[in-house]
Structure 1
Amino acid sequence: MSLTGDVCVLTGACGFLGEKLVRLLLEEEKLAEIRLLDRNIRPDFIQSLEDCCGETKLSVFEGDIRDSELLRRACRGATLIFHTASLIDVTGAIDYRELYEVNVKGTQFLLETCIQESVASFIYTSSIEVAGPNPRGEPIINGNEDTVYTCTQRFPYSLTKKEAEQLCLNAQGEQLCNGGCLATCILRPMYIYGEGCRFTLSHMRDGIRNGDVLRRISRREAKVNPVYVGNVAVAHLQAARALKEPQKRAVVGGNFYYISDNTPPISYSDFNHAVLSPLGFGIQERPVLPFCILYLMSFLMEMFQALLRPFLRFTLPFNRQLLVMLNTPFSFSYQKARRDLGYAPRYEWAEARKRTTDWLASVLAREREQISLK
């Protein structure tokens, strides 16, 4: 079903996924208005949208998601929320209080505002990390939403995303001020890659510093299924369309969906090599140290960090949960999203890989120059 005439709010509009979703909405729907909400709205991004917005009105709401007045203004008269905004942290660089305030409290404030302003549909962008892997590194291969898996989270980021998910599930069916009911839907993408991915860019920078050789941080057999950002944007659009259709709304509301595509299962390290090898990057054959030794080192560093925390705060280069995540086979099917949302990947691996590599090629010279100046 079309979103023609709808007014949607997109949080994290200038983010990695947010940008792709805005462009997709402008290309494929005749929305009455798209309201872009972000802490930092880049003028160049807004200018780049002017030629493709057509009759869709673009409105900018710059500020913090914890600002209740900003949320009320952004949501007033809206029909749909895409909540992609989030603080992402896998190394402990961000204080837990800030992660909680943005990822959990921000989601809570947004849901409350939806109820007050009678916004009918709410789509939350979660993360595969709420599912695991667990500290024991138990694998999942081609799992689905019904896969039973026990996972006690340790990452503050994972914990906050899981709690925000629960808030969304609890809000399903809440009565709106206009007498309607709120429908919520959660999307759990795999590791998202593509043009603009800061994690891939970071690995490229590390490779440059290491003489154009990528460091192997995951074992070959620890295969996951990354998902291209363009396909994740398509999944969001399909979720919004499903929530607009009464019969599908009853099925989709209150559910979560894993979002993957046809990217071949591959380890994180080998994925980095796959998109960077055309640019002349090699990769280490094996990790510098065996997994068990790296795990022990991580444990000792975490204990040392805990002892010094009252006097000194610093970020570790890696920790046990990150090490386990990078070395555990962990992949999921998108078949439930296909069935309920009508989702199908639009970009196959060959095109997604080329787009990612072309983007990396476009910034490679600049990155080399910046690194050489340091």
Structure 2
Amino acid sequence: MSSLDGEVCVVTGACGFLGKTLIKMLLEQEKNIGEVRLLDINVKKEVLQSLQEIRGDIKLTVFEGDIRDADFVRKACRGATLVFHIASIIDVTEAVEPSEIYGVNVKGTENLLEACVQENVASFIYTSTVEVMGPNLKGDPVVNGHEDMAYRCALKSSYSRTKKEAEVRALEYHGEWLPDGGRLATCALRPMYIYGEDCRFLLGHMADGVRNGDVLYRMSQREAKVNPVYVGNVAVAHLQAARCLKDPERRADVGGKFYFVSDDTPHISYSDFNYAIMSPLGFGIQERMMVPLPLFYVFCFLWEMVCLMLRPFRRVVPPINRQLLTMLNTPFSFSYDKAKRELGYTPKYTWQQARSNTTQWLAQQLPIQRQEIWKK
């Protein structure tokens, strides 16, 4: 497998959950990489400082700006050879205006792809999501799904629709001619729900549990099993994809394709996963959902209707909607066999390591959470 020696990498969303994990892994594993460019709308000083401490002789360059700015994006890609496009607006409650999500997730991706063509960038890896697959509104289950399966899905949320549209754009650009006579190679990775250190969703669930007397809410039924993936293993998959796209013999086989990314985290419901991570910290979990699932859908529908009626006067976002409730209560798991076979991807971190790392991080955050909640 090719190394990334000499590559000039652009990482969008560089200070985000996955972005900084990937950059850290790049710096630790690819000692002869040419340059790593951190592209983010807000480059956090603490993230940059932590990376500076491990970079060795590798050049780190900061590009602070908005991927909706085509000129800025082209400047960031000038002289680059590889782009990891991770940045996006993640919104599962429809709290963000659809036009805002579209601008970042779709137009931002188009700007990056066009910049790659204009600036002779050889490889582009798009970070997609399992949500481009579903689940559909009927809650049709998938158990150990794969890339070639058929699944009826009409994506409803702005997030899933824009991520799907951006993924399609990224794969369509595979094979585009570059000014230097080469061709752009692209591929897309579809991780499951990503967890690990700095996961804001886990932090939110823990805060809710603290408010509820250290009892986690049950929002999903036990049988609605999914397979979350550890952030470190998602970073590993990105590096493997990059090495494949650089390798002339593998490039044609991998380019233009998407791959599901999971690991050996047990198949488990979202709520029971939260409990598995947080039970060592003394948290319990509700035995059953607060209301039967059919009634929960009725409540969500009523919330959505009230918010819709208020929309001309004030934007109110319900804490949960029917699409999110379906996602939380649909068995929806996917295999990483194709990524293993074609990318050479093998999870670096076991479930035990991933769980321990995540729980330790949450243990550090717990006193801060309690203090903030007590103040309120």
Same fold flag (TM > 0.5) = yes
Give the letter aligned to residue 300 of structure 2: S
Q: Distance in 1 between matches of 2:249 and 2:47?
A: 37
Equivalent of residue 201 in structure 2, options 195, 199, 202: 199
Q: Distance in 2 between matches of 1:54 and 1:73?
A: 25
Give 3-state SS (helix, strand or coil) of 2:268's partner. coil
Q: Distance in 2 between matches of 1:313 and 1:363?
A: 31
Give 3-state SS (helix, strand or coil) of 2:126's partner. strand
Greater mean deviation of Cα atoms: 38-47 or 108-117: 38-47
Matching residue of 1:110: 112
Matching residue of 2:130: 128
Which structure 1 residue ranges, 5 or more long, are not aligned?
none
1:329 aligns with 2:331: yes
Matching residue of 2:170: 168
Matching residue of 1:316: 318
Greater mean deviation of Cα atoms: 141-150 or 293-302: 293-302
Q: Deviations over 1:5-46 (max 9, x none)?
A: 110100000000001000000011121100000011111211
* Aligned ranges 1:217-228 → 2 under 5 Å: 217-228=219-230
1:12 aligns with 2:13: yes
Give 3-state SS (helix, strand or coil) of 1:238's partner. helix
Which structure 2 residue ranges, 5 or more long, are not aligned?
none
Question: 1:303: how far off?
Answer: 2.0
Q: Distance in 1 between matches of 2:279 and 2:256?
A: 42
Question: 1:312: how far off?
Answer: 2.1
CA contact (8 A) 1:32 1:55 kept: no
Equivalent of residue 189 in structure 2, options 187, 190, 195: 187
Equivalent of residue 373 in structure 2, options 360, 364, 371: 371
Q: Distance in 2 between matches of 1:298 and 1:247?
A: 51
TM-score by structure 2 length?
A: 0.99
CA contact (8 A) 2:310 2:316 kept: no
Give 3-state SS (helix, strand or coil) of 2:213's partner. coil
Q: Deviations over 1:171-213 (max 9, x none)?
A: 1111111111111110000000000000000000000000000
Matching residue of 2:279: 277
Matching residue of 1:93: 95
CA contact (8 A) 1:138 1:328 kept: yes
CA contact (8 A) 1:80 1:119 kept: yes
Q: Deviations over 1:204-229 (max 9, x none)?
A: 00000000000000000000000000
Q: How many residues matched?
A: 374
Q: Distance in 2 between matches of 1:351 and 1:44?
A: 25
1:26 aligns with 2:33: no
Question: 1:69: how far off?
Answer: 2.0
Q: Distance in 2 between matches of 1:313 and 1:63?
A: 28
* Aligned ranges 1:221-240 → 2 under 5 Å: 221-240=223-242
* Aligned ranges 1:20-99 → 2 under 5 Å: 20-29=21-30, 30-99=32-101
Question: 1:311: how far off?
Answer: 2.0
Question: 1:297: how far off?
Answer: 1.3
Greater mean deviation of Cα atoms: 270-279 or 295-304: 295-304
Question: 1:313: how far off?
Answer: 1.1
Give the letter aligned to residue 10 of structure 1: V
Give the letter aligned to residue 142 of structure 1: N
Q: Distance in 2 between matches of 1:92 and 1:250?
A: 38
Question: 1:55: how far off?
Answer: 1.8
Give 3-state SS (helix, strand or coil) of 1:47's partner. helix
Question: 1:308: how far off?
Answer: 2.2
Matching residue of 1:152: 154
Question: 1:307: how far off?
Answer: 2.2
Q: Distance in 1 between matches of 2:268 and 2:175?
A: 39
CA contact (8 A) 1:79 1:120 kept: yes
Q: Deviations over 1:263-304 (max 9, x none)?
A: 000000000000100000000000000110001111122222
Root-mean-square deviation (Å): 0.7
Q: Distance in 2 between matches of 1:199 and 1:172?
A: 33
Give 3-state SS (helix, strand or coil) of 1:35's partner. strand
Q: Deviations over 1:94-138 (max 9, x none)?
A: 000000000000000000000000101000000111000000000
